[in-house]
Structures are given as structure tokens and as C-alpha cells.
Structure 1
Amino acid sequence: MTQSPAPLPPPELRRHLREAASLTQAQVAERVGVARETVCAWESGRTTPRGRRREAYATLLASLTKADMVTNTQEAAPPPQVTACLNRKPDPLRAVSAPTPTPTPVAVSVPSPETEPAPLTPAQAFDALYAFCAPALVRQAYLLSGRRELARESVERAFQLAWQRWPEVAVDRDPAGWVRATAYEHALSPWHRFRPRYRHPEPPPADAADGVLLDVLLTLPAPYRRTLLLYDGVGLDLPETAAETEASTPAAANRLLHAREAVAARLPELASPAALHRRLAEVASAERLRAAEPTTVRAGSEQRARFWTRAAIAFTVAIISATALTVRTAPARYEPAVPPGETVQGVPPRSAPGTLSDAELDLRAKLRSEIQHGPQRLIPLPE
């Protein structure tokens, strides 16, 4: 008889249990006997463990579940939707994380309604995501585009779109990655070159070395630049970088190698990934790139939504009016077209008039001698 596989909790709960136990992906991978990338794939739901690895992973998660039920923290842990933005180390290119309080084990008791924390409103959850992710995203967009104003605009547009689709973004496995991908797409859009304000280059950074590195980055193709920033700047692993750039893992690795070779050819001192990451962070933090307030972004998102809604309504009304006018003025029956004329054969040619005869001359003289006007012409004369 075949034994059924060990049950596993959902991917979101796997990550939540690991973070509640203050374990890193590397520590979980060491206990199960796999690589850290494999644990990351299990938590994201891209792959599912099998065989002995599944049994070991299920046993570990079961022990973490029991520990989570026995202990209770003084402060509630952040929801899984916002955790993706809070688990980064403090870095100019990464989202700033708040210090996690040390959990204090206490006896479990039935929580009363007064002690349960109030759920976050959509606006509060959005503001928290924006506060933790926007400053780092602005610096990342600056390294991608080389333009300060475009970097701020890209992040604001990304969060405006996120607020419009907040029911979808709030339940996403990685809302920070969703916003980051949207900001990158806007920053790397090729249509910006046709805008008048972006036809001329911006002033270079104050430090000449920063300007050289930024020029080297801007000479790279957009996919290579994005892959290099995600892997060596943000710190994503190769599968996550490939998934965010919509490429296969071998293609992402090839782009990363070529990008590193191009940077090392111009700047040999940045051949080491650690040195490249440090220089990217220094270039990004050297510029004073401040993001707008979250309330301003939400207000702008709602204003843009109203504008496009009204534009869509006006366009629909115009189409309906044009259709009604066409139906009203269209002919009710079919009128055949007039056929073109045909040449009639056998008609003698028209002759030119000749000289008048004597009788015709007398008749013309008589007609001219009569009264030309007056009622007399209308009364018949007696014979």
C-alpha cells in the first residue's frame, strides 16, 4: 500500500512560521539538508518538496507550528503581505526594515476581544508598504534610468497603480516585488525619449567616480542593467531575479555574467560582486532622492482614476451619439445609382440652320409689327 505524502501548510504560512521562529532560510535549509534557494522556492510556491525532503520539511514545520501555538508575542507580527517588504537588511538599495522585538514566551490563554489588535485599513496597509519600500525604490529607479525626476515619477506611478489594484496587490505573495516590477517597467520604458523634458541629459553626479559608474550602467542593455541591479544591488537570488525579469534562470545568469564583464572592463576595481554592491549603494545614496508622501500618492491615484473614468465615459457617449446620428440620417430605402449614359447609334447629325424663305421673312415681319405688350394680345379679335 502506497503511503500518502506528509501534509504541508500553504506557502504563505511556511514563511510566516519560519519568521515567527526567528529562523533564516539558510538555517532551515541546513536542517532539511537542501540549498537555501530550494527553501526559497518552497516558500514562494514555485516548487514542492518530495520524498524524504518533504517528510523532513513537514516535520520541521509541524514543530514550528506547535511552538507558535505554545508561545505568544507581546506585539503582533506583520501580515504576510507586508512581510516581503520588511525582511530586508538596512541598505540604501533595499527597503528599510524595522527592528523586530524579541518574542517573550507566555502561557496560552483564550484571547479576549479587547486584546486582539485591530486589523489595518487598506489605507494604513498601503501607507506602511509605501513607507518601507518607496525610498529604496527611488534609488533603484535612479540607477536604472540615470534621471532623478524620472525615478520619482516611476515609483509614484507604480504605487498609484498599486492603490488602484489594491485588492489584488494586498493578497499578492510579494507586494513589494509587484510594485518594484511596475516601477522598473516605467523607468525603462523606451517612450520617454520622445518626451521633450527627457531629450536632454541631466547633470552628472557631483563625484566624478559616481558619474563614470552611472555611465557604464546606462550603456548596458535594459535587461542586463535590470538583472545586475536585482542580483548585485537588491540582493535577490538567481531564481527570483529570473522570475522578476520574465526570463529563464540560465538566461538571467548569462545576462548577469555579461553585465559584470562589461562593468569590470571599464572599472576593474569593481570586478568583485561585493565591491560592485558597495559602489551601487554609494552612488544611490549620494543623491537626495525623496519620495512623495503616501497620502499624496493615494490622492493622485484616485484623481487619475477619476480622470480616466470620465474620459472613458465621454468617449463612450461620443461613440453612442455618432452611432445614433448615423442611424437617424441614413436612408430608409435603397436608391439605385443612376447608370451611365449610352451612345445611341443611327441618329442623323443635326444640321445647321440655313437662310429664311420669303414666307418666313413675311411671318417674322408680321410678328414684329404686332403689339409686344398689353392685355390686347390676350383678347381674340373678331373676324
Structure 2
Amino acid sequence: MTQSPATPLPPPEERRRLREAASMTQAQLAARMGVSRKTVRAWETGRTSPSGPRREAYTRLLDGLAAKRQTQGREPEGEVTAGHPEAGSTSAPSAAHHEHPLTPAQAFDALYAFCAPALVRQTYLLTGRRELARESVEQAFQLAWQRWPEVARDRDPAGWVRATAYDCALSPWHRFRPRYRHPEPPPADASHRALMDVLLTLPPSQRRTLLLYDGVGLDLPETAAETEASTLAAANRLLHARATVAERLPVLSDPEELHRRLAELAATERLRAAEPATVRDGSERRARFWTRAAIAFTVALIGTTALTLRTAPTHYEPPVPPGETVLGVPPKVAPGPLSAKQQKLRDKLRADARHGPERLAPQPR
């Protein structure tokens, strides 16, 4: 008897993207599939794959999520690939393929529509500031549009933008901005306020690791790679962060409960991102501004260099050396203040001075 081939599944990264596109957490997917959240995480990272009836059910679920996204007219960013305008057109391979290739603007808008809403909420958990979260996400996407050929060919464009947004949000320079010197109003719910207070007491590296692993649902190697740390360092940060949260809030000692509470806290804040066209226009305006600033600086530097060459001396003039004693004769010095004896002699000479021809006449003896 020949064994029937296994039901094909999308790649691991596509599984996670389809789930996130449906605004479904790993815990919710695990409840629908009748498995644990760790099992879902293993499926989405490629460490394991379901088999048998569970594989067929998982495949039907993913196909339904992909069809739902296609019906809504929103494509997940997936591995959005876009070539440079000179290199050719763009395409976005996913569960539902496009009949026509995407332009760079369309591919960017698809990535923005998929990532920006959730990314703003994640960045809010990272900083505790609503306006800073929106600003950081917009800056990340503006930078992504400026480097779109590079970002579009990246293995995980969503991860590229997320890492950039987190870097912008955690920049230490924000503390010098007057608008960010005072805390923002906390969440209305008391339990959410307590969780936010604990998150903000964590060091930025631990807070970021906890959010990526227990909030976003990345695997430990992916979390380590995105935080630019070794796997061991990321594990230590995660353990210390969990221990701090469990010490302050014992009810969140269970990672599953912590994941659920993080999702609830992010969902309660009605944070909206700007329109993708606005972000693209802002990126282009910023690029034009810095280009003009660089041209103006270069022109000023060339003018300063030309002026220096024009007015600089053409030959070397050695400085006058200090005087030296020659054969016991001291060097000439500039006149200084008179002593009391010298002033007395000067006054006497001025009082006895003669004027006119009488000065030349000899005095009788």
C-alpha cells in the first residue's frame, strides 16, 4: 500500500504572518487547534510540523485565513519582494498570488497596512508613550521607503521595520526633548497600569526581549538575532524580565497569562497609524531636505576653502625671537612702570627744565 503524501503547508514564516494578519494570538490559535502555545510556536518557527488529522485541520485553518485576507483586499506583507524601478516590477508571494506584479508603492503600502497598526501598539508597550510610538513607527517606515530595494529583498521585511521602530523608540536622545520629559497619562484599568509600571521599570534590553518573545511570539534565536545578542544573553534577559514581572505581579508568573495580558494591554489603546501615502510623502520630503542640506554644506565648504587659499600668506615669516644677553649686556625691554625713585627724578627734571636759548648759555661760576 502506498502512503498518501502529506498535506502541503505554507512556510513557517507564512504561517505566523497569516495568524497575525487575522489579529489572532498564538494562545487563540492553540485553543482552536487543541494544542499548547509552545506547539504553535514550534510550528511557526519550523522546528516541528503537525501530522495526520491535525495537519489537515491546520492547513484548512491557514487557507481560510489567507482567503479571508484576499477577500478583504489586504495582502499580508509576507516576503514582499520589490525590485528597483530600473530592475523590474515587484511581487508579493503569499498564500494568494497576484495576477499582476506590484509596484514599489503598492508593495510598501501592503507592508504598511499589515504591520503598522500592530507595530504602533507594540511600541507603546515598549515606551509607555503613545505619540512616541506613532512617531517611531512612522520614522521606521520612512527609512524603509528610502531603502526600499534593500528592505523589499530582505528575508523578513516586517522584522526589519520592527527592529528599526524599536531602535527609534528606545533612542536615549528622547530624554532631552521637552515634550517627553513628563510621563503620559497611564491606562485607565488598574491591572493594565500595574503591568505598564512593571514594564517601564525593566531595563530597555530586557523589556525588548520580553516583548518580542512573550508579546510578539518570536522564537528565542529570532529574538536574539533581532536584539543583536547571543541566544544565551537573550535567554538570561528573558528570565530576569520574567522574574521581575512575577515578583511584582505574581499572577503573571505563567508565560501564557503574561502573553494574554500583554495582548490585552496593547489592544485597549486605540492607536492609529498615519496613512501609507502620508508616510511615503514624508520620507521623500525628508530625503529632499537632507539632500539639499548636504549640497549647501558642500558649497559652503568649497567657498571657505577657496577663501582660505585666496587670503593665506604665500611665504613663511619667522617669528621674532626673544632677546638674549650678549657679553653681559641685557636685551632691550619694553618700557614698564616707573619706580618711586624714577618718578621723583622725572618730576625734578621737568621742574628744572629751561626753555629757549638760555639753555645753551653757560652758567657763570
Q: Does 1:337 align with 2:328?
A: no
Letter in 2 for 1:226: R
Cα deviation, 1:234-293, whole Å, max 9, x if unaligned, reads: 011111111111111111111111111111111111111111111111111111100000
Per-residue CA deviation, residues 156-183 of structure 1 (Å, 9 max, x unaligned), is 0000000000010000000000000000
How far apart are residue 342 of structure 1 and its match?
4.5
Task: Specify the code of the residue in structure 2 equivalent to 1:318.
Answer: A
1:151 paired residue among 124, 133, 154: 133
Offset of residue 23 of structure 1: 9.6
The 3-state SS of whatever aligns with 1:83 is coil
Please list, as runs of the form range in 1=range in 2, the aligned pairs for 1:315-326 lying within 5 A after superposition.
315-326=297-308
Question: In 2, Cα distance between the equivalents of 1:247 and 1:321?
Answer: 46
Partner of 1:255: 237
- Equivalent residue number for residue 270 of structure 1: 252
Distance 1:183 1:346, change over 3 A: closer
- Partner residue of 1:83 out of 58, 78, 87: 78
Contact preservation (8 Å) 2:12, 2:43: no
Matched, 1:243 2:238: no
- Paired with 1:268 and 1:322, the residues of 2 have a C-alpha distance of 65
Q: 2: distance between equivalents of 1:296 and 1:288?
A: 20
Deviation, 1:341, is 3.9
Q: 1:338 offset after TM fit, Å?
A: 2.5
- How many angstroms apart in 1 are the aligned matches of 2:301 and 2:280? 32
Give the structure 2 partner of residue 368 of structure 1.
Answer: none
Evaluate the alpha carbon distance shift between residue 311 and residue 220 of structure 1 in structure 2; reply closer, same or farther with a 3 A threshold: same
Shift of 1:40: 3.7
Could you tell me which of 276, 281, 284 is aligned with 2:266? 284
How many aligned residue pairs are there?
A: 274
Residue 81 of structure 1 contacts residue 175 of structure 1 at CA under 8 Å; is this kept in 2? no
CA–CA distance in 2 between the matches of 1:152 and 1:363? 99
Is 1:296 matched up with 2:287? no
Give the C-alpha shift of residue 310 in structure 1: 0.9
Q: Which residue of 2 aligns with 1:95?
A: none
Cα-to-partner distance string for 1:308-350 (whole Å, 9 max, x where unaligned) = 1111111111111111111100011112222334556569xxx
Structure 1 residues 81 and 363: alpha-carbon distance in aligned structure 2, compared to 1, 3 A threshold = same
Deviation at 1:203, TM superposition (A): 0.6
Secondary structure of 2:322 counterpart: coil
Aligned to 1:208: 190
What are the ranges of 5 or more consecutive residues in structure 2 without an aligned counterpart? Answer: 1-7, 17-40, 49-69, 81-93, 331-345
**Does the Cα contact within 8 Å between 2:133 and 2:169 map onto a contact in 1?**
yes
Q: Provide closer, same or farther for how the CA distance between residues 212 and 40 of structure 1 changes in structure 2, counting only shifts above 3 A.
A: same
Note if contact 2:13-2:44 (Cα within 8 Å) is conserved in structure 1.
Answer: no
CA contact (8 A) 1:238 1:253 kept: yes
Match of 1:118 among 97, 100, 105: 100
Normalization by structure 2: what TM-score? 0.67
Aligned to 1:182: 164
Conserved? CA contact 1:81–1:171, under 8 Å: no
Q: Is the alpha carbon distance of 1:22 and 1:274 closer, same or farther for their aligned partners in structure 2, counting shifts above 3 Å?
A: closer
What's 1:231 paired with? Answer: 213
Q: Contact 1:37 / 1:237 at 8 angstroms: preserved in 2? A: no
Instruction: Tell me which residue corresponds to 2:27.
Output: none
Q: Structure 1 residues 304, 201: closer, same or farther in 2, change over 3 A? A: same
Q: Distance in 2 between matches of 1:24 and 1:166?
A: 24
**CA, structure 1 residues 363+212, in 2 after alignment: closer, same or farther (shift >3 Å)?**
closer
Per the alignment, residue 180 of structure 2 pairs with 198
1:113-162 CA distances to partner (integer Å, 9 max, x unpaired)?
A: xxx82211000000000000000000000000000000000000000000
Question: Hey, what's the Cα distance between the residues in 1 that align with 2:9 and 2:239?
Answer: 32
Say whether the 8 Å CA contact 1:131–1:294 is kept in structure 2. yes
Structure 1 residue 36 displacement after superposition: 4.4
Give the secondary structure class of the aligned counterpart of 2:185: coil
CA contact 1:81–1:174 (8 Å) conserved in 2: no
1:217 aligns with 2:208: no
Q: Is the contact made by 2:140 and 2:164 (CA closer than 8 Å) also made in structure 1?
A: yes
Distance change in 2, residues 1:244/1:292 (3 Å): same
Residues in 1 aligned to 2:13 and 2:299: alpha-carbon distance in whole angstroms? 58
Q: Paired residue for 1:167, among 114, 137, 149?
A: 149
Larger radius of gyration: 1
Counterpart amino acid of 1:288? Answer: R
Relative to structure 2, which stretch is displaced further, 314-323 or 175-184? 314-323
Task: Write the distance in 2 (CA, Å) between the matches of 1:263 and 1:363.
Answer: 109
Using a 3 Å threshold, how does the CA distance of structure 1 residues 201 and 22 change in structure 2: closer, same or farther? closer
- TM superposition shift of 1:217: 0.3
Pairwise CA RMSD of aligned residues? 3.7
The correspondence for 2:10, drawn from 9, 19, 23, is: 19
CA shift digits 1:198-233 (9 cap, x unpaired): 000001111111111000000001111111111111
